[in-house]
Amino acid sequence: MSEKTQKRSWFKGLSREFKKIIWPDKMTVAKQTAAVVSVSVILGLIIAIVDFIAQYGVDLLVR
């Protein structure tokens, strides 16, 4: 099999695989995006609070 034939076969396989993909609709993407953003904000707040408490504790020990 020549290199050109192998490349052509690879691209045909890639094309077939892309046809199997089920793309989400706009509503699903919007819901998942909102979930990711809200969880990120909540975790960011939790980390900030824990950081603040740890910093306060270290400041108390250093004084």
Give the 3-state secondary structure of 26-49: HHHHHHHHHHHHHHHHHHHHHHHH
Confirm whether 4 is domain-assigned: no
Confirm whether 6 is domain-assigned: no
Domain count along the chain = 1
Confirm whether 15 is domain-assigned: no
pLDDT of residue 3: 76
Confirm whether 33 is domain-assigned: yes
Q: For a pLDDT cut of 90, what percent of the chain falls above it? A: 79
**Whether the predicted pLDDT of 2 surpasses 80:** no
Domain of 57? 23-63
Query: What pTM was estimated for this model as a whole?
Result: 0.63
Distance in angstroms between the alpha carbons of the first and the last residue of the chain: 76
**Whether the predicted pLDDT of 37 surpasses 70:** yes
> Over the stretch 53-63, which tens digit does the pLDDT of each residue have?
999 999 999 98
Question: What 3-state class would DSSP assign to 8?
Answer: helix
**Whether the predicted pLDDT of 1 surpasses 70:** no
